[in-house]
A and B are shown apart, each in its own frame.
Chain A
Amino acid sequence: GQQLNQSPQSMFIQEGEDVSMNCTSSSIFNTWLWYKQEPGEGPVLLIALYKAGELTSNGRLTAQFGITRKDSFLNISASIPSDVGIYFCAGRYNNNDMRFGAGTRLTVKP
């Protein structure tokens, strides 16, 4: 099955900087999800998007569901050291078919 194209693969940033990552697909999705995974843990849901064009925030995180329904981005503002981890996008075609990006590994230098 098709996986999503997520970029960048990794980011090394200074504390306080803003971060942006995105996912694209050649197919349409009905739902976009963004997860964060910390070392040794399973992914934890950050933001869920259900409508094309939807823009949703969760604290310093903002994500948007692209109007073409084939892409999504996640922004993190004013990064802090605890933002370190791997961020995954996921798209759902129908109710049980979810596809994942390969992840963006974020490193934040204090």
Chain B
Amino acid sequence: DVKVTQSSRYLVKRTGEKVFLECVQDMDHENMFWYRQDPGLGLRLIYFSYDVKMKEKGDIPEGYSVSREKKERFSLILESASTNQTSMYLCASRKGPRGRDTQYFGPGTRLTVL
């Protein structure tokens, strides 16, 4: 079974803090994704990575950066957290850019910025 794990289920941070969200997958997947999920808006793509050290902006990259130093790990960084970044953050991974590869999600990190 594919397993996507996220470092924290719940986080509370203060405005201006630097925040790291970690995601690890154990199936040697090439592609990894970070989404945020807000009520009524569904999932919106922040960044994705299709290989080590490669990254692409998604729909809402402002205020975020990412790091992929190893294939299994994809980190989302909030350089200076703001209250409008309070959200549920979901990491996902996918084997590769082939038509029928399934995208698997982690359990999510619920971040609250005070």
A residues adjacent to B (C-beta < 8 A): 1, 3-4, 6, 9, 30-31, 33, 35, 40-45, 48, 50, 88, 90, 95-96, 98, 100-103
Contact = CB atoms under 8 A, between A and B. Distances in A.
Contact of A31 (B58, B59, B99): B99
B103 A95 contact: no
Contacts of B42: 3-4, 6, 88, 100-103
A107 to B, nearest CB: 15
- The A contact surface, by secondary structure, is loop
A8 B43 CA distance: 17
Contacts of A35: 105
B70 interface: no
Contacts of B107: 40-42
Contact of B105 (A3, A30, A43): A43
A42 B4 contact: yes
B43 to A, nearest CB: 4
A97 to B, nearest CB: 8
A45 B108 contact: no
